Each structure stands twice: as C-alpha cells, then as structure tokens.
Structure 1
Amino acid sequence: MLALLSQLVIDKEAAMPVYLQLTNQLTGFIKTGALMAGYRLPSTRQLAGQLNIHRKTVIRAYDDLLAQGWLQSHTGSGTFVAANLPVIKPQTILVDNTTPAVKAGFAIKSPAHLQRPIANLNIPLHLDDGFPDTRIAPVLDLSRAYRTQLLTGNPYVRLGYGDTRGTEWLRNELATYLNTTRGLRITPANILVVRGTIMGLNLTCTGLLEPGDTVVTAQPGWVGAEANFLQAGAKLIKIPVDEYGLDIGALDTLCQKQKVKLVYVTSHHHYPTTVALRADRRVSLLALSRKHGFIIFEDDYDYDFHYENKPLMPLASADDAGMVVYCGSFSKTVSPAIRVGYLVASENVIEYLASLRRIIDRQGDTLLENAIAELLQNGIIQRHLRKSLRLYRQRRDIFCSLMNDQLKNHVQFKVPEGGLAVWAQFDKSIDLNELAQKALKKGLYFQGENNSATLGFTRLGFASSTPTELETSVEILAKLLTNP
C-alpha cells in the first residue's frame, strides 16, 4: 500500500488547491478498489512528509474524506478507509482523475435530426442566414433599463420567483404592442413569455403533439422546426412552396386522406424563400384548420421588416376559432442574444403550456423581461424598428444591386419584399459547400446549401453588414466564381 500511495501526484502550480488534488486522488483509489475497506492510512505527518506538503493540507483532505464518508477515524488508532464500503474488484488506477469524461458508460441515441452544425460567425465578413445588425441595437437603453430593474424596487420581488407565464408588465406591454401592430385581439392572459421561438415551438410540440401525429411543414422549410417535430415523434409530411407561399390545395388534398394534427407555417416571409403567403391562401388555410381541426403554428420570425408596403397581418389576427398558436421574438428585432419571445394562443392553451414550461424552466429572466417592457412602454423598441427598417431596406437595395452587377452570370434571385436575407439560386455547376469553404478562407462566411432538398439554393443575409462590408463580400464571391 505504501507503493500505492507513492503514486500520489501533487502539482503545486495547478489551479486546483493541493488539498483537493489529494482528496480526489484518494477518492479515486478507493473507488477503483486499490484502497480496500478497513485499510489504515498513513498519519497526516507521514503523508505530508512523503508528499512534501504542509501537514494542515493533509488534515484538511482527511477531514473532507471523513465528512463524505470515505474514511473513518478511530481515536488512538488512526484513520481508515470506511469499513462499510462494498468490496470493489481492483481496477486500473488513474493517477490523473481530473480529466473530463468524454464518453458515457451508458448508451445514448443520437438521431440524425439533432446533428446540426453551429455556424462560426467569429470572422470579419458574413452573409448569414438573415440576422440583424447588433451594432445598432439599443444596448445603452437596454442596459439602463436592466440596471434599474436590478437595483430598484422590492428585492424580494424583483430577485425572487415570478410568474411562469412571464412578468405581468411585459405581458401587458406585449398585448398592447401586438394588438396595435398586428391586429390581434388579446389580453395578457393570451400570452406566454418564452426564451425564443425554439422554446415556444418545443413547448407546443411537447404539450400538443402525440407520437405518430401528422405534422405538415413546407418544402423547403426550416430544419429547426422539423427537428422539434421529429423529436416529438411526429410523422412529418412536406408540402411544396411556390411564389405565393404554401400550396394550400395540396394541404386540402392531404387532409381529405388522413388526419393532420398541426401545420407549421411562416406566413409573412416564408423561411427560407422569403415569399409571403397570398391573401386567398391565408383565408383558405384558416378555413381548412376549422374544417379539419388541425393546429396552425404561425412562426412570425421577422414581421417588422417588410419594405414594399405595410406588413401583412398575421393569420392569428383573423383567427376566430382559436386554431392558431402565434409565436414571435425579439431575436431579429434587437439581437439573438436577447432571449425573449412570446407565444400567443387561447387562454386555456397558454395556461396548459405555462404549466408544462414550469417543469422545464421555472421562469424566464424577470429583470430582462421588465427591461424589455420598459423599452416597449417608452417607445424605444418602436423607434429602433423604424430606424432598422430604413437601414435594412437600404442594405437590401445595395446588396441586390451588387449581385446584379457582379454575380448575374452565376446567381439568380428575386428582390425580397421583406426579411433580412435573399434566397439565391446558384448555377448548377457550382458546388455551394465547396464555395463556402473557399470563401471562409477569405474571411467571408455563408452557410453553403440551405439543405439537401434545395440543391443550389442558399440564403444570403444582408442586414448585419454595412454597405462597405457587402461590397467586399460580393467582390470575394465574384472572384471565387470567376477564378475557382
């Protein structure tokens, strides 16, 4: 056993305290069976001398192990490995037991729909998926509002537990804001504040879908939504999108053949193509929902950014039968880092999904929610949106002009009426993923092919880049396409 203890390794330069290094290594020896139950450990003086450390360090380590139940102390006899530990067949001793575990000792499933790469945007230039320019976000106003919430008022209330549905102030402000801007007819009881569209979608899938239910999405569509439906065990059926949005005739035919539980739609600016769902199709979709009893999940991810005329009113504004679950967030309005979104639905749906949210995430960020409420109440977000709309329209026009001038032989697109990205079709001879890798080496990110079902297409975001950055980005693409 003395030979065993000679394998103890202490690194006095390490960030981990010496006593904790000793504690962890002794615990590891016991767990592997190298130190058996009842074994008498050296005295604190002996071990301190052997390891060339202070005796008080060994005492502290022993005290920790005694408190945790790994050791027992008998007055006058010494310190022993606890006698009540089970007999463990000796295993290989790992002196360095601080290495993080890489592979679990149990099996886990890793379905294909969860294998989605995370974009690396820490590079100079980016034609992204359609993100806002966070450099113009009202961060000073937000920080002042957040600081106010952090420092003023009753600390028991402002720093304690709150309403799972979201703060009352924010739900009141959201009700007013959404009624005014989107033609909704709601009260705070119709709102559940969530951390973003993904959370709202996941709650809806978990709470309103059963394994085997049929969910309809668009083709092409958003893989983030599809992943949630598949994770819920739903059967996914995709319906084509044309220049007028989702093919409602195809949906009608499907509903006559089988029961559909939910239809996911991005009606204002379809993701990824950016086309708007035409008025007659909106009316037909709501009528089909009432007739066949399916839920409409309306993801209105970038409602505020429509350039040619006023934004189209969401389906939820004309829903008299309580069939629409409407979802939006401040990710595109302010910044993706501001994790505040909202679900809007009938009161009983909100009450149910709030109870489900409570067992997943007790509540949101009360301070942030109230800070956003203050910005809405003071009109700061509304002013920011007006400024953003003008700026993004200008960038859209510049970007589309640049592409027409420099990429017209390689790329086809329509100028989007709204949104923060262009849906671009590259020549069939171009390997988009290879092009994306070459661009990355030049300091330009874009995501390559949107997905395997839309070969040759991708989204090129313009909103997050300045005119100069857009010029440089298009120049890089033009040079790569001309001299591959």
Structure 2
Amino acid sequence: MDSPVQIPFKSFIQLDASASTPIYLQIVFEFIKAIQLGLLPEGTKLPGTRILCKLLVVNRNTLIKAFQDLESQGFIAISPSKGTFILSSQKQAHQKEIGAASRAATASHFNFKRSTILEDPIEVSELPLQFNDGLPDARLVHTDVLASLYVSKLKRNKSKKVWGQVQQQTRQNFKKQFSNYLNVTRGLKIAEANLLTTTNHEIGLYLVLKLLISTGDKVVIASPGYYQSNMSILDSGAEIISVPVDQDGIDTVRLRKICESNTIRLLYLTSVFHYPTTIALSAKRRIELLEMARHFGFIIVEDDYDFDFHFDNNTILPLAAIDSNDVVVYIGSFAKSLPSGFGYGFVSAPANFIEELEKHQRILSSGVDVIKEQVLADWIQEGEVHRLSKKNKKNYKERRDYFVKLLDEKFRGKINFHTPHRGLAVWVHWLGQFNLIKLRKKCMENGLFLPKTILYQDKNLTASRLGFGSMDLKEMEKALSVLSDSLDDLLRLT
C-alpha cells in the first residue's frame, strides 16, 4: 500500500501557534474536521508520530496527547503493533478476508495506484429508523407512467434501420428539450452547445475537475462543506483552502483576502443554498462573487445539488443565471425524484469548454441511451416533468413543515435551526456540550441510525444535517422520539 505520508496533511491540518487554543486541541479539532469532511476516510493508516510531528512541525508529546484525546472520543484506533487508524476496525476486518497467498501475489507483481482519499464514506445499516443527508423518498416515484412510456418507445424503435442516425437525432432533440427546460426553470440563457448531459451529477463534477485542475492548484471551498466533492478536489491534486460560512453564505471578506495573497484556480460552491447548512447566499454576496471571479481570474464551479426541491414560491436562481462574463460552470441534477437510472446530471458552460468535456465523456461512455433520452424528452415537451415536480413539492413541503414542527416540540431549548426554503434536510445546531459520536452510538442502541457523514463537530460547532425527505410522518415521529430519548440518556451520563 502507498505510504500514508503521501496524504497532504498540511493542506487540511492548519495550526496557529499564536492562537489562544492549545496546539494539542487544535490538532484534535482539525483531525475531527478532516474525518467528517471525508478527507481521512475510515481505515486510513496514519504515519508514525515522529514522521507526523515533522510534517506538522509540532512536539511529539503534544501529538501523542492529541491522539489520546481522539482515541477516547472514538475517532481513531491505536494498535501498538499495527499503527494508528481512522476508525480502523472495519478496514482490518476486510483485510482478514483476503488470503495470504493473494496478498503475497499482490505485493510481488500486481502493483497499482491506490487512493487514500476516495474511500467510500457511505455506511449501510439494517436498523429500522435511519436519517440521511436529504435524499428523496423512492416510494413517491411514479414508475407506472415511465414504464408504459418506455415500453412504447421500445416498440416504436423496432422499425428503425439506421441506428447511428437514430442516436444522433435523439441526442439533438434531448439536448434541445433539456436546455429549454433549464432556461425556463432556472433562468439560464443557454443553447444545446452550452450543455453536457451525464448519467449522474457526480460524473459531471469529475469531468469538470479533470479539465480545470492541475496538481498544486489552489481551490477554495466553503466550510463546512460537501465531503464527496472535497474528496474529488483533493484527488485531483489541488490544495484546498476553506472559507467559513455565516448567516449570509460564504464569507466574501475572507475570500477577498485569500485572493489578494494567493492565485486561486477555482471556487467550488454548492450554489445559492449551501451544503450542509442550507444557508442562502445573499444577493449582495452573489454579485460580489461574480465580480471577484472576474477581477481575480478564478472560475466558479457552482454545484446546484437540490434545485428540484424548492418551496414557498421563493425560487432563488443560480449564479449561472446572472453570469455575464462566463466565469461560472454550472453543475446540477435533473429529476432526482425519478426512478433510479432515469435521472441525469448536467454541466452548463461556454460552448468551447463543453466541446472539450465531450471528448473525455466519449471515452467513459461512447453510446447514447436512445430510449431513455426519448422518454425524458417527451416528458419535458409534454409538461409531465413539471406536473410531477409540482406534486412532489407539495408532498415534500408537507413533510418539511411537519418535521420542523416536531423539532420545535421535542428539542425546544436544546437546538437552534431555521426552516429551509429548499432541499430535504434541516441543519440543526446542538446547544448542549456532548460528543456526537457518543450520541450516534446511543441512537444505534435504540434502533436509530445516524451516519457519520451527517455529523459535524469541532471546537466551534456541534451540528447535524437531518434529512426528512425519505420519511413519512409516522417515521419522523418515531425517529425524532428516539433521537430525543437518546440525547436525554447521554446528557444524564455526562
């Protein structure tokens, strides 16, 4: 396995000797943040303390004290004979399943690049109640209408003889309908040449980062941020610089200072509603960001991860809709509430950039899913997507309103939160002093699963992103009751 020393610790473990917080606590908080952002995935083996002390320029006793604190909180496991691992039990169990002969063969000649960054942080649980970070409910999907339309398209295309011509015509019509849909719903002003469609949102982001980032480039992200995009940015070889978020979105004053002393390649932003906090980027700061991008020469990669779920008739258009200088690359998803396999990701950008993206896309996926694109083009043209979206928004708005009502009833005085205008999750600030990992364990004992990816805790923050979209009203009541009881049990013990 590649040496853990190759992990770019200095890019995300940032210590300040002049700060009032002791260095060992800074190390603890920085490692917890890195783990929660997905920068140090489960199973990652850390370098020895002597090596890590040289990398971070700290005293060894200080680092050992920080590691002891991290171990007591359950973030790392220290084995005298094997090393220090990030929550390593799952990793070690997996390694035991690999035969000794296979390991020997791998070590001798089957060598390949290994990533310590792209480990999958998603956890699976069989517990009856589960929170997530804001996924839609698969039970609300209208599969019957899609199935009948898909079958009719299959029958109609049997008579087609020149399949290549069918693919070309289908792709042109789909991109035309799709670009029109984005123009109407998101205020864009694009043509087919400004649009790349992908099988999912993640592939679009991967392709964009591949073309825009070179090793050593500096990329600004908002903090706290989206763990999956952070993993992709780090894996591309970039150096991440984080900027905090306040009540108006990303701190543009801090961003300007960074730009004045650094050459920034791009700013990655989860659109006008920040992930995970759901905070809306103010109109003033949207204008400031576009002006700074033009002035300092960086690109804004705008990731509009949940536009499909906006409520209260107060739709805020993306930055891409008001970009007049071609500084925004807009990434999003289409119809998240469609069945698995029917959704789409997309990238909207200047035509020459889209043309270059398509070269790389052809390597990954050379064909066109003709039937799928014909079905979705018809759905858009006939207005079925708009009708489905309207119905879904009504259902999810009802769930959102009931969820925040329950939060207020069951956790009054224990949390702060605001009602989100978009998305399927609520950002909850916990007011008590307790460890979220211990709360997670207590919830699991009581039948409720809290994945680590929705828990955020450092020296200044104790918060969770609680998704409500995948639960019906009864499930919400049960889940929040368990969460409330588990919190009370934990606080009694502390």
Regarding TM over 0.5, the answer is yes
Sort the Cα spacing of 1:475 and 1:254 in 2 relative to 1 into closer, same or farther, 3 A.
same
Deviation of the 1:352 alpha carbon: 0.3
* Cα distance between partner residues in 1 of 2:443 and 2:115: 30
Partner residue in 1 for 2:62: none
* Cα distance between partner residues in 2 of 1:178 and 1:104: 48
Partner residue in 1 for 2:86: none
Deviation of the 1:224 alpha carbon: 0.8
Deviation of the 1:279 alpha carbon: 0.5
8 Å Cα contact 1:300-1:328 kept in structure 2:
yes
8 Å Cα contact 1:289-1:295 kept in structure 2:
yes
Sort the Cα spacing of 1:429 and 1:157 in 2 relative to 1 into closer, same or farther, 3 A.
farther
* Cα distance between partner residues in 1 of 2:177 and 2:101: 46
Partner residue in 1 for 2:312: 308
Deviation of the 1:369 alpha carbon: 2.6
* Cα distance between partner residues in 1 of 2:135 and 2:274: 15
Partner residue in 1 for 2:303: 299
Deviation of the 1:172 alpha carbon: 1.1
**In angstroms, what is the RMSD of aligned CA positions?**
2.6
Partner residue in 1 for 2:179: 175
Partner residue in 2 for 1:213: 217
Deviation of the 1:383 alpha carbon: 1.1
Equivalent residue letter for 2:277: T
Sort the Cα spacing of 1:136 and 1:204 in 2 relative to 1 into closer, same or farther, 3 A.
same
Partner residue in 2 for 1:264: 268
The counterpart of 1:439, out of the listed 440, 443, 450, is: 443
Deviation of the 1:244 alpha carbon: 0.7
Indicate yes or no: 2:420 matched with 1:416.
yes
Deviation of the 1:285 alpha carbon: 0.8
Deviation of the 1:435 alpha carbon: 2.4
Point out the structure with the larger helix share. 2
What's the TM-score once normalised by structure 1's chain length? 0.74
* Cα distance between partner residues in 1 of 2:101 and 2:387: 48
Partner residue in 1 for 2:466: 460
Partner residue in 2 for 1:450: 455
* Cα distance between partner residues in 1 of 2:486 and 2:177: 49
Deviation of the 1:268 alpha carbon: 2.5
Sort the Cα spacing of 1:99 and 1:285 in 2 relative to 1 into closer, same or farther, 3 A.
same
Deviation of the 1:267 alpha carbon: 2.3
Matched position secondary structure for 2:106: coil
Deviation of the 1:110 alpha carbon: 4.0
Matched position secondary structure for 1:342: strand
8 Å Cα contact 2:436-2:455 kept in structure 1:
no
The counterpart of 2:290, out of the listed 286, 290, 296, is: 286
The counterpart of 1:152, out of the listed 142, 156, 165, is: 156
* Cα distance between partner residues in 1 of 2:203 and 2:129: 29
Sort the Cα spacing of 1:226 and 1:402 in 2 relative to 1 into closer, same or farther, 3 A.
same
Deviation of the 1:431 alpha carbon: 2.5
* Cα distance between partner residues in 2 of 1:471 and 1:126: 12
Matched position secondary structure for 2:206: helix
Equivalent residue letter for 1:104: T
Deviation of the 1:121 alpha carbon: 5.7
* Cα distance between partner residues in 1 of 2:164 and 2:447: 43
Pairing of 1:67-78 with structure 2 (within 5 A): none
Matched position secondary structure for 2:324: coil
Partner residue in 2 for 1:192: 196
* Cα distance between partner residues in 1 of 2:221 and 2:171: 32
Sort the Cα spacing of 1:438 and 1:368 in 2 relative to 1 into closer, same or farther, 3 A.
farther
Gaps of 5+ in 1: 1-97
Sort the Cα spacing of 1:259 and 1:162 in 2 relative to 1 into closer, same or farther, 3 A.
farther
* Cα distance between partner residues in 1 of 2:130 and 2:434: 20
Indicate yes or no: 2:343 matched with 1:327.
no
* Cα distance between partner residues in 2 of 1:121 and 1:375: 35
What's the TM-score once normalised by structure 2's chain length? 0.72
8 Å Cα contact 1:243-1:275 kept in structure 2:
yes
8 Å Cα contact 2:336-2:343 kept in structure 1:
no
* Cα distance between partner residues in 1 of 2:259 and 2:350: 24
Sort the Cα spacing of 1:150 and 1:124 in 2 relative to 1 into closer, same or farther, 3 A.
farther
* Cα distance between partner residues in 1 of 2:340 and 2:415: 29
* Cα distance between partner residues in 2 of 1:347 and 1:381: 26
The count of residues paired between Structure 1 and Structure 2 equals: 386
* Cα distance between partner residues in 1 of 2:437 and 2:311: 30
Gaps of 5+ in 2: 1-98
Matched position secondary structure for 2:302: strand
Partner residue in 1 for 2:106: 104
Partner residue in 2 for 1:227: 231
8 Å Cα contact 1:166-1:192 kept in structure 2:
no
Partner residue in 2 for 1:37: none
* Cα distance between partner residues in 1 of 2:464 and 2:165: 45
Matched position secondary structure for 1:181: helix
Sort the Cα spacing of 1:156 and 1:476 in 2 relative to 1 into closer, same or farther, 3 A.
farther
Sort the Cα spacing of 1:269 and 1:309 in 2 relative to 1 into closer, same or farther, 3 A.
same
Pairing of 1:377-416 with structure 2 (within 5 A): 377-416=381-420
Matched position secondary structure for 2:317: coil
* Cα distance between partner residues in 2 of 1:367 and 1:148: 9
Partner residue in 1 for 2:134: 130
Matched position secondary structure for 2:124: coil
Matched position secondary structure for 1:376: helix
**1:226-274 superposed Cα distances (whole Å, 9 cap, x missing partner):** 1111111111111111111111222122111121111111122210000
* Cα distance between partner residues in 1 of 2:220 and 2:455: 19
